[in-house]
């Protein structure tokens, strides 16, 4: 039998945990609950978790450290819960590998929109990839669009689904400048078209993984004030 899939909800406030659990279960999701970081990691190691909803402020081990530890072994999507107005927390969460964030307080509609968007992006199959795309090379980079694999100077590079999707958009159209809004819409969805911090952080993550010198990139280039493009 296939192993059951769970959404792991981690928050030290019982009211928030139960609010999220109740609304997920009403929509037929199975939920695991944790009240601190250590309990969250234990659940993650023992169950088939397909999404983590994770508060930043936790006892024993904060959410950023939990996120970092999960990212060392998994690309499972993570949505961080952040305090209102704490922009630094949002950037830190994305830098540690989170896929998305929700600002407290949030509505049921906001919660479900984020859950659906993240689960949609977590799938590796993107219908818009042409069958003929095959493998493309950019200097020392090799991208296999069918197998969703990337190599840098012959060494495999581990990318999350969102990272690969962003790279794919750029690499399938070398030399084409994508505006910030166009990339956000194509990779994250129309509801993210004005949230440029996602794009800035993910471009930085790709550069750290793919460029010999991330501060002086030769593959993923910036067109100031407009967007990004891939050199052919």
First to last CA, the chain: 46
pLDDT value of residue 33:
97
CA–CA gap between residue 173 and residue 179 (Å, rounded): 13
Mean pLDDT for back-to-back runs of 10 residues, the chain (232 residues): 84 95 94 96 95 94 94 92 81 89 91 90 58 80 90 92 91 94 90 84 94 95 95 82
Q: What pLDDT sits at residue 89?
A: 83
What does the pLDDT read at residue 29?
Answer: 93
Predicted confidence at residue 125, as pLDDT, reads 46
Please answer whether residues 222 and 228 qualify as being in contact, where contact means their C-beta atoms are separated by less than 8 angstroms. Answer: yes
Q: What's the confidence (pLDDT) of residue 126?
A: 47
Q: Closest Cα to residue 97, out of 64, 60, 132?
A: 64
Q: Give the full edge-to-edge strand order of the sheet including 135-138.
A: 135-138, 141-144, 149-152, 155-157
Predicted confidence at residue 132, as pLDDT, reads 57
What phi and psi values does residue 123 have, to the nearest 5 degrees?
-80, 140
Residue 151's pLDDT is what?
96
Output the pLDDT for position 142: 95
Q: Are 40 and 78 in contact (CB under 8 A)?
A: no
Verdict on whether the full-model pTM lies above 0.85: no
pLDDT at 128: 53
Enumerate domains of the chain plus CATH numbers. 5-121 (3.40.50.2300), 131-230 (1.10.10.10)
DSSP string, the chain: -PPPEEEEEE-S-HHHHHHHHHHHHHTT--EEEESSHHHHHHHHHHSEEEEEEEESS-SSS-HHHHHHHHHTT----EEEEE-TT-HHHHHHHHHTT-SEEEESS--HHHHHHHHHHHHHHT-S--TTS-GGG-EEEETTEEEETTTTEEEETTEEE---HHHHHHHHHHHTSTTPPEEHHHHIIIII-GGGTT-HHHHHHHHHHHHHHH-SSTTS-SSEEEETTTEEEE--
Query: Tell me, what's the pLDDT at 2?
Result: 57
* CA 46 – CA 62 distance, rounded (Å): 20
Question: What is the spatial distance between Cα 96 and Cα 4, in angstroms, rounded to a whole number?
Answer: 27
Neighbouring C-alpha atoms within 13 Å toward the C-beta of 126: 25
């Amino acid at each position: 039998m296939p192993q059951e899939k769970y959404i792991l909800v981690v928050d030290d406030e019982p009211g928030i945990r139960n609010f999220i659990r109740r609304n997920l279960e009403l929509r037929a999701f199975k939920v695991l609950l944790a009240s601190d970081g250590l309990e969250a990691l234990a659940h993650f190691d023992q169950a088939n978790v397909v999404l983590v909803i994770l508060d930043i402020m936790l006892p024993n081990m904060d959410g950023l450290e939990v996120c970092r530890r999960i990212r060392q072994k998994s690309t499972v999507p993570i949505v961080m819960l952040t305090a209102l107005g704490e922009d630094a927390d949002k950037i830190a969460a994305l830098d540690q590998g989170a896929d998305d964030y929700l600002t407290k307080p949030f509505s049921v509609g906001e919660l479900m929109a984020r859950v659906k968007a993240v689960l949609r992006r977590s799938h590796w199959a993107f219908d818009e990839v042409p069958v003929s795309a095959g493998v493309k090379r950019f200097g020392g980079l090799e991208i296999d669009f069918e197998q969703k694999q990337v190599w840098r100077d012959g060494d495999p590079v581990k990318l999350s689904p969102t990272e690969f999707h962003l790279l794919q958009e750029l690499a399938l159209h070398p030399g084409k400048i994508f505006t910030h809004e166009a990339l956000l819409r194509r990779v994250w969805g129309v509801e993210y078209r004005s949230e440029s911090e996602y794009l800035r952080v993910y471009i930085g993550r790709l550069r750290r993984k793919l460029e010999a010198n991330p501060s002086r990139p030769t593959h993923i280039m910036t067109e100031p004030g407009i967007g990004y493009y891939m050199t052919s």
